[in-house]
Structure 1
Amino acid sequence: MMLEGKVEIILGKGRGSAVRHDRTVNISPMLSGRSPAEAITCISSVYGVCANAQSHAAVLALEATMGVAPDRQTACARVLVTSMETLRENVLRIALEWPRFFGGEPEGASVRPVIGYVPRIRHALFGSRNPFAIGAGCVPDRVAALAVIDEAEALLADGIFGEPLEVWRARRGMAGFADWCALRRTAAARMIANLSERNWIHMADAGRDAVGLPHTGSAVAWPRLLAGNSRRVPFALQDGVPETTLFSRRLAEGPVESLNSSGLGARFIARLAELACLPAEMRLLLDGQGEPGTMTETDDGTGIGVVEAARGLLIHTVGLRDGRVDAYRIVSPTDWNFDSRGIAARCLATLDGHDEADRISLAHLVVNAIDPCVAYQVRAA
């Protein structure tokens, strides 16, 4: 069951494109009448993609509605689990999918250990407990958790970047990345090299002025804006439907900012910047020095939970009646990014004038750069 539906991209002859997002499933009837604990169990069982992030947003929304607030240590530990899931999902997509864009073979064997990192860090932080149960408390084994983070960083350095993460994070501009591509032969480096060789680094540049959602580090409590728009999502801001991607999340990181672009190259570099930053950020959370980066809000009895997931911001909203779910809504990054006025449509509009074969190839790259997990189809009209 594809709970987020499917995206269809239709390329007109020579000019024009359309993005259709078929939201086929409404989860509210599945959860209506359930207790909060039952709702958490249901959500964790039906989502195959980003299951931890979905459970995380769900427990935040439900706890907000119930007036339950986790302690800081538990809040940080939950984010550590979700962050490791983000690391895993992006590593697997890079190793398995990026090679096909330049005629290579999947490189899953080199990153196979990443599959075990999420259950291991869950156990290190929560033992046999569910991190996303209502009122959960963590029982952290710092040594065990740190060992998983260290292994994840070593895997990234060897299998994704081909060099220490701090070395890659110090690279700036296309000259710095050209040097990286020349020195390293990982799938990630070959992907950027392939875009450069085809002069596609700056393709699909929708402009750096594209509106991004205020992410959880922002001082803007934007879930109130969600509530103020009658919970209609996506809502349009001044320049259109906001973007929530790894590019908008990592735009201020040095490697991304130095490219001064929102084209394909910058978007794929942003995916890599996410991975290059995560281990250090997770260590800070483990030591109690980082910020959880989640948001909760209540509005007229409705709880709102917001987490940073592998593809962008994920929102759950829930209303309870007599202690049971009365209304439930999930707003995924796909809802924003593949709206007919969203960032995917704006990127695709820049491809007009290219021949059909290039437009189709570029359209596949646009989708992968924005959301590598979405089910989609690209076809020429």
Structure 2
Amino acid sequence: MTSIAGELNISISYTDTNIDSRIESSRPLHASKIFTGKSITHTLTTIPLLFNICAKAQTVTAVRAIESATEKPSYKQTESFREALITLENLREQSLRVVMDWPKYRNEQAEVECISHISLGIAKLMHALEPVKVLDYQGQPSPNYSFKTSVELWMIFSEKLSQTIFGSSANDWLENTYKKEQLDIWAGKEQSQAAKFIHWLNQKKWKHSGKSNITHIPDINDIEVRELLKTQGHEFTGHPKWDDQCYELSWFSRKQCQPHQDNGIYSRMIGRLKEIADLILKLDTFYIKGTQLESGKSSVSGIAHSEAARGRLTHFVEIENETIKKLVILAPTEWNFHPEGVAVKSLNNLDAKSPHELHQQAELLIHAIDPCVGFNLSIEG
């Protein structure tokens, strides 16, 4: 089955004094309607084929919502494994942006070995977690699951990834570079993928451009969310607002990015590195320390959330006679690329002297907001 992820058509017109951006979406906002009347099993096996970008997050969120609606909660170990799958998926998407995209801004080729290491390494780690069993309705890991094998895989993978991106362990970078505000020194002397890019970015007068006054979404009561999804459904999910305001609901929304508090290009690039380091440390606790990961499940029937690579993903489901009566998906992309949302406002505040420079800045900003969205970008003026 072909993915129906759709894409965003982003057009930017500019003059010497003004930038005006517009977003039109071909994303399939009503796709979840095809599951109406389908069995739980059919739905859970089809969702990752239909939404093959962030497929693990989509499946985990769906199965959580279904188990909530049927009042058949999963085992804690199952939820921990599901959370590990999402965390691995997030790590893949954020890391690939660094090794695939960042070199081209320095006029260098992406290293195929680095891309392969991330893609194949994450695939092996996911496979070892037995996703077919774990993502099934009330699924659970095999009693014969071998943590030892997974730990060995993770240690080899994470050590190489950390060296590729940071030039050191993720923990060393967090403690001795990020928290001590040594980023400029690190970027100037380190030869890792990320350091060379940050050094390049530091030379740009526009590195702090792309700020907006769109704030991160506040805590919203899940009972109110369920009511909105139940009554307004796809009208709400197509162009979501809360109290008539647009908010950001990206991966960046969940970062504590001190001392980089703004939401311009530079802060988002540093935020991405912190996200990668945090994800590595989270998986360290899972694999090496054997700690069960918390999923933050909703206590409201039929509602489930997952912190995906794009931001918080929400599913609402109603079940009748073991079949899907209603499934509504609220994706973070619709918050972030709302016609009046954070992407538009941020793009309008870029600071470019040429079409090439504007294209560079816009690409960086779009992928910083959403690491895996498909988009077409056109610039006029």
Scaled by the length of structure 1, the TM-score of the pair is 0.87
Q: Which amino acid aligns with 1:130?
A: K
Alignment map for 1:1-381 (pairs within 5 Å): 1=2, 3-14=4-15, 15=18, 16-24=20-28, 26-126=30-130, 129-139=132-142, 140-170=145-175, 171-172=177-178, 176-207=182-213, 210-214=214-218, 220=219, 222-229=221-228, 230-231=232-233, 232-233=236-237, 234-237=239-242, 240-250=245-255, 252=256, 256-286=257-287, 287=289, 289=291, 291-299=293-301, 303-351=302-350, 354-381=353-380
Report the CA distance between 1:129 and its aligned residue.
Answer: 4.3
Question: What is the number of equivalent residue pairs in this alignment?
Answer: 366
Report the CA distance between 1:157 and its aligned residue.
Answer: 1.8
> Is the deviation greater in 284-293 or in 95-104?
284-293
Change (3 A) 1:172 1:95: closer
Q: How far does the alpha carbon of each residue in 1:251-299 deviate from its partner, in whole angstroms, 9 at most, with x for none? A: x1xxx31123211111111111111112221233455645423433545
Contact 1:7/1:376 (8 A) holds in 2: yes
Q: How far does the alpha carbon of each residue in 1:322-357 deviate from its partner, in whole angstroms, 9 at most, with x for none? A: 221122222222111101121101211212775444
Q: Distance in 1 between matches of 2:34 and 2:227?
A: 26
Q: Which amino acid aligns with 1:109?
A: E
Report the CA distance between 1:134 and its aligned residue.
Answer: 0.2
> Structure 1 vs Structure 2: percent identity of aligned residues?
24
Contact 2:9/2:23 (8 A) holds in 1: yes
Root-mean-square deviation (CA, aligned residues, Å) is: 2.5
Q: Which amino acid aligns with 1:92?
A: L
Q: Distance in 2 between matches of 1:221 and 1:343?
A: 19
Q: Distance in 1 between matches of 2:107 and 2:297?
A: 42
Q: Which amino acid aligns with 1:136?
A: G
> Is the deviation greater in 364-373 or in 170-179?
170-179
Q: Distance in 2 between matches of 1:33 and 1:362?
A: 45
Match of 1:217 in 2: none
Other structure's SS at 1:257 match = coil
Other structure's SS at 2:14 match = coil
Structure 2: 5+ residue stretches without partners:
none
Contact 1:211/1:239 (8 A) holds in 2: no
Contact 2:84/2:293 (8 A) holds in 1: no
Report the CA distance between 1:240 and its aligned residue.
Answer: 2.9
Q: How far does the alpha carbon of each residue in 1:17-52 deviate from its partner, in whole angstroms, 9 at most, with x for none? A: 212223235223432221101100011222321211
Q: Which amino acid aligns with 1:18?
A: R
Contact 2:248/2:336 (8 A) holds in 1: yes
Q: Which amino acid aligns with 2:365?
A: V
Q: Which amino acid aligns with 1:178?
A: D
Other structure's SS at 2:91 match = helix
Q: Distance in 1 between matches of 2:5 and 2:211?
A: 26
Q: Distance in 1 between matches of 2:369 and 2:29?
A: 22
Report the CA distance between 1:69 and its aligned residue.
Answer: 0.6
Other structure's SS at 1:12 match = strand
Contact 1:247/1:266 (8 A) holds in 2: no
Other structure's SS at 1:130 match = helix
Contact 1:318/1:328 (8 A) holds in 2: yes
Q: Which amino acid aligns with 1:28?
A: S
Change (3 A) 1:354 1:326: farther
Contact 1:4/1:25 (8 A) holds in 2: no
Other structure's SS at 2:343 match = helix
